[in-house]
Amino acid sequence: MNQDNLQQQLTYSQKFSELNQLLEQSAALWQVRAFEVNALPWAEDFPQLAEAVWALADDELDGLDAEQSLLVKALSPALSQDLRALGQDWDLSLLTASIAERTVFNNKTVTDKAGVAEPSLMDNTAAQQGGLSFDDEAHFSAHIKGRKWQQITAFVQHLPQLNLPVLEWCAGKGHLGRLIAKARGAEVVSLEWQAPLCEAGQAFADKWQLSQTFICADAFAIGAEHAATNTSITTVEAPAQRAANANPLTTNPLTARQQAVALHACGDLHVRLLTLAAEAGTQALAISPCCYHLIQASHYQPLSNLAQQSSLKLSRHDLQLPLQQSVIANPKQQALRHQEIAWRLGFDALQRECRQIDAYLPLPSLKQSQLSGSFTDFCLWAAETKAVNLAKNKDFEAWLEIGRQRQQLTRRIDLVAHLFRTVLEQWLILDRACFLQEQGYGVCVGEFCANSVTPRNSLILAQKMSV
**pLDDT tens by residue, 84-121:** 999 999 999 999 998 875 443 434 433 333 332 333 34
Q: Which of 210, 209, 208 is nearest to 190 (CA)?
A: 210
Residue 326's pLDDT band (boundaries 50, 70, 90)?
low
Q: Which of 460, 463, 464, 467 is nearest to 433 (CA)?
A: 460
Residue 329 has pLDDT above 70, yes or no: no
**One-letter amino acid for residue 370 of the chain:** Q
Average pLDDT of span 229-257: 54
Q: How is the beta sheet containing 188-192 ordered, strand by strand? A: 234-236, 212-216, 188-192, 166-168, 259-266, 284-290, 458-464, 441-447
Give the span between the Cα atoms of 219 and 436, in whole angstroms. Answer: 20
Q: What is the pLDDT of residues 353-383, one digit of tens each?
A: 999 999 999 999 998 899 999 999 999 999 9
Residue 259 has pLDDT above 50, yes or no: yes
Average pLDDT of span 236-253: 50
Give the span between the Cα atoms of 32 and 35, in whole angstroms. Answer: 9
Higher pLDDT residue, 28 or 325? 28
Query: How much is the pLDDT for 115?
Result: 32
Residue 236 has pLDDT above 50, yes or no: no
Give the span between the Cα atoms of 290 and 170, in whole angstroms. Answer: 12
Query: How much is the pLDDT for 394?
Result: 82
Residue 191 has pLDDT above 60, yes or no: yes
Query: How much is the pLDDT for 336?
Result: 92
Query: How much is the pLDDT for 112?
Result: 32
Give the span between the Cα atoms of 97 and 114, in whole angstroms. Answer: 17
Cα-based distances in Å from 96 to 19, 85, 339: 12, 23, 30
Task: Kindly state the DSSP code that residue 299 receives in the 8-state scheme.
Answer: B
Region of poorest pLDDT, from 91-95, 232-236, 407-411, 440-444: 232-236
Region of poorest pLDDT, from 44-53, 192-201, 249-258: 249-258
Instruction: Answer whether 65's CB lies under 8 Å from 418's CB.
Output: yes
Query: How much is the pLDDT for 295?
Result: 96
Higher pLDDT residue, 85 or 465? 85
What is the percentage of the chain residues whose pLDDT exceeds 90? 73
Name the β-bridge partners of 261.
Answer: 168, 286
CB atoms within 10 A of CB 139: 13
Instruction: Answer whether 68's CB lies under 8 Å from 455's CB.
Output: no
Please list the helix, strand and coil fractions of the chain in percent, rounded to the nearest 5, in that order: 50, 10, 35
Query: How much is the pLDDT for 239?
Result: 38
Query: How much is the pLDDT for 8?
Result: 65
Cα-based distances in Å from 299 to 63, 302, 307, 315: 32, 9, 13, 4
Query: How much is the pLDDT for 224?
Result: 55
Residue 27 has pLDDT above 90, yes or no: yes
Residue 421's pLDDT band (boundaries 50, 70, 90)?
very high
Helices (H) then strands (E): counts for the chain: 18, 10
Cα first-last separation, the chain:
6
The total number of residues written for the chain in this structure: 467
Residue 331's pLDDT band (boundaries 50, 70, 90)?
confident
Name the β-bridge partners of 260.
Answer: 167, 285
Query: How much is the pLDDT for 392?
Result: 79
Residue 46 zone, left/alpha/beta (φ > 0; ψ -120 to 50; rest): beta
Query: How much is the pLDDT for 92?
Result: 98
Residue 246 has pLDDT above 60, yes or no: no
Q: What is the pLDDT of residues 275-294, one digit of tens each?
A: 999 999 999 999 999 999 99
The model scores a pTM over 0.95: no
Query: How much is the pLDDT for 408?
Result: 97
Average pLDDT over the chain, rounded to an integer: 86
Query: How much is the pLDDT for 311?
Result: 98
Residue 332's pLDDT band (boundaries 50, 70, 90)?
confident
Residue 345 has pLDDT above 60, yes or no: yes
Residue 44 has pLDDT above 70, yes or no: yes
Q: Which residues of 9-26 are buried (b: 16+ CB within 10 A; e: fewer)?
A: beebbebbebbbebbeeb
